Amino acid sequence: MTKKNHYLLIAPFFIVVCLFLLLPMLFVLIDSFKTEQDVWSISNYIEIFSNPFYTQSFGNSLDIAFKSMLIGLGISLLSAHAIHSSGKRLGKIALTVTNMASNFSGVPLAFAFMIILGNNGVITILFKHLGFDLISIFNLYSKIGLIVVYVYFQIPLGILLLYPAFDRIEGSYKEAAFTLGAGKWVFWKRIGLPLLFPSLLSTSVILFANAIGAYATAYALTSGAFNLVPVRIGTLVSGDIFLKPNMASALSVILASILLALNTIGRRRLHEES
């Protein structure tokens, strides 16, 4: 095979990547610096930081992402550990269920939670029968509700990311520590958690990025009513009420920067360990 043939074989991939990734990226960037009347300006960006409508969307997105990441990470950590120490058969079943659950996000998940925790949800009714009015403290279509739903899809991902780390860390390090007199707590404090830390960091970054960019779940749950960045971008570009594609581009640039930063940190850490 000649050199020319070599290049011919790798070209198609890069052509597609250019057409469907790089060029769009470039245009988003360029358009973010234009007003809707096609004039060069940074007014979009100024508006994002001054208009409470947009600052609130970033506030909400970051808040929900952070809280759901924290809770999700905690539960994933305990779950991954439990799965690892529960025996081979149960562990295998648990991982299969986790894999299945990780597919259950977006529109189906939103609908499922409406069925369970909505105004006429199964659990809502259950509490009502028990004399407890769930709706007074919990509204599925509010920030709290979104956090609860987001936590749900963070957990399987967190478990699948953290579980291999437990595989590496338990086993002979634990045995050695035991023979040296250390109990479980001492082991985790001095050896286990320090060794786990890089994985925890990169997992938390991935979960956070996942939550911030999530569109389908929020959109399906609130029909675009709740003010989140991805939802905002979506409505601005598909012209539900206001068609402002350049503003959407500006918001996208900021969101993409956040995601890029997060993923660079997260994946570099993952690379470091392997």
Partner 1 sequence: MGTVTVKALSKSYGDLNVLNKINLSIEQGSFVTLLGPSGCGKSTLLRCIAGLIEVDEGEIMFGDEEVTHLLPQKRNIGMVFQNYALFPNLNVWENIAFGLKVQKLPAEEVKDRTREMIQLVALEGKEKSLPSQLSGGQKQRVALARALVLKPKILLLDEPFSALDAKIRKTLRLQIREIQRALNITTIFVTHDQEEALILSDEIFVMDKGEITQFGSAKSIYTQPANDFVAGFIGHYNILSPEQFEGFSKFDHKEGRFALRPEVIKISHAPSELHTRVTAQMQVKDVILLGSILRYIVSDRHTKLLVDCLYEDETPAFKIGEQIYVHFEPEKLKRIG
Partner 2 sequence: MKNRKSSALMVVMIMVYMVIPIFFTVIYAVSTKWQITLLPEGFTLKHFYSLFTNIRFYRAVGRSLSVSIISIALSFTLLLPVIYMGKVHFPWLTRIMRFVSMIPFAISGVILAVGLIKLYSSGPLAISGTVFILIGAYFVVIMPFMYQGIKTSLDNLEVKTLVDAAKLLGATEWETFWKVIFPNLIKGVSVSVLLSFAILMGEFVLSNILVGGNYETIQVFMFWSRGVSGHYSSAIVTSYFILIVAITALILHLNKYDTERG
Query: Which residue ranges make up the site for partner 1 (CB under 8 A)?
Result: 172-173, 175-183, 186, 190-191, 194-195
Tokens for 161? 């990311």
What is the Cα–Cα distance from 171 to 162, expressed in whole angstroms? 16
* 88 closest CA partner among 178, 167, 179, 189: 167
Amino acid identity for residue 260 in this structure: L
Shortest distance in whole angstroms from residue 268 CB to partner 2: 10
User: Hey, what are 257's tokens?
Assistant: 């920067």
What SS3 class is residue 40?
strand
Residue 178 contacts which entry, partner 1, partner 2, none (Cβ below 5-8 A, type-dependent): partner 1
Question: Which of 186/270 has CB closer to partner 1?
Answer: 186
Instruction: Work out how close the CB of 44 gets to partner 2 at its nearest, in angstroms, rounded to a whole number.
Output: 13
User: Of partner 2, partner 1, none, which one sits near residue 179, judging by CB under 5 to 8 A according to partner kind?
Assistant: partner 1
Taking the complex as a whole, how short is the minimal distance between the CB of residue 182 and partner 1, in angstroms?
Answer: 5
Contact of residue 41 among partner 2, partner 1, none (CB under 5-8 Å per partner type): none
Choose among partner 1, partner 2, none what residue 145 binds, the Cβ cut-off being 5 to 8 Å by kind.
Answer: none
Beta carbon of residue 88, minimum distance to partner 1 (angstroms, whole number): 10
Q: How many helices (H) and strands (E) does the chain have?
A: 14, 0
Task: Estimate the crossing angle of helix 193-212 against helix 245-273, to 10 degrees.
Answer: 160
